């Protein structure tokens, strides 16, 4: 199993390359508003409703999702449900305005102080200061619901819902889930 922060064991300390990668992602998130991204690959794969969902995401999340798509394609994946999940796996994050520091705090707390993360990410009202952390915590489930509402397949929704959980190796779609998680962790 690859060493990604998104699927690491609770309390497991990520190795330095993972932390450096997460720092790069944070800096990339800060610079994302100033970069142009080519959304044509998303337009080619997504239905109209799914494209609206994709475009509701922050520019940083859209850029990340496009990198996930490119990674999957570079590894030879062509399964449409997987590719759509790669583009929409973080669409649930659009429910809250998320700052880079909040995303970074999630990664750090999940890695080093998981109990503190679960305290911070417990259910919160939209006006609460904790609401962004709650959304970060439940974004896979929110994203799966949004994907289904946008007409995506059950498999796409399942992949989105599980992209931050340890997958069951006996599940028939385990290879697709691992591919999505590996892509997410690499991009």
CA gap 33, 70 in Å, rounded: 20
Structural domain range at position 66: 5-186
**Lowest-pLDDT choice from 32-41, 42-51, 163-172:** 32-41
Q: What is the pTM of this model?
A: 0.86
**CB-based contact 53:146 (threshold 8 Å):** yes
4: pLDDT strictly greater than 60: no
CA gap 135, 126 in Å, rounded: 9
As a whole-number percent, the residues of the chain with pLDDT over 70 amount to 84
Provide CB contacts within 8 A for 32, sequence distance 6+: 58, 59, 60, 63
Residue with tokens 């896979």: 140
**CB-based contact 131:83 (threshold 8 Å):** no
Measure the CA angle with vertex 140, ends 144 and 62; round to 5°. Answer: 90
Span between the terminal Cα atoms of the chain, in Å: 17
Across the range 12-41, mean pLDDT stands at 71
Domain count, the chain: 1
More confident residue, 183 or 8: 183
**CB-based contact 160:53 (threshold 8 Å):** no
168: pLDDT strictly greater than 90: yes
**Interval 44-99: pLDDT, tens:** 999 999 999 999 999 999 999 999 999 999 999 999 999 999 999 999 999 999 99
């Amino acid at each position: 199993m690859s060493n990604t922060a998104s699927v690491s064991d609770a309390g497991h300390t990520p190795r330095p390359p993972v932390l450096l990668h997460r720092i790069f992602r944070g800096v990339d998130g800060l610079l994302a508003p100033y970069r142009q991204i080519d959304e044509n690959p998303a337009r080619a794969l997504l239905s109209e409703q799914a494209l609206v969902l994709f475009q509701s995401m922050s520019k940083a999340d859209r850029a990340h999702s496009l990198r996930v798509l490119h990674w999957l394609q570079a590894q030879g994946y062509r399964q449409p449900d997987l590719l759509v999940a790669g583009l929409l796996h973080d669409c649930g994050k659009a429910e809250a305005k998320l700052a880079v520091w909040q995303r970074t705090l999630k990664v750090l707390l999940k890695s080093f102080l998981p109990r503190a993360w679960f305290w911070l990410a417990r259910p919160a009202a939209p006006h609460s200061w904790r609401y962004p952390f709650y959304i970060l915590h439940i974004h896979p489930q929110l994203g799966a619901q949004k994907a289904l509402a946008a007409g995506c397949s059950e498999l796409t929704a399942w992949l989105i819902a599980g992209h931050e959980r340890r997958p069951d190796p006996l599940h028939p779609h385990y290879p697709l889930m691992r591919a999505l998680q590996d892509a997410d962790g690499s991009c």
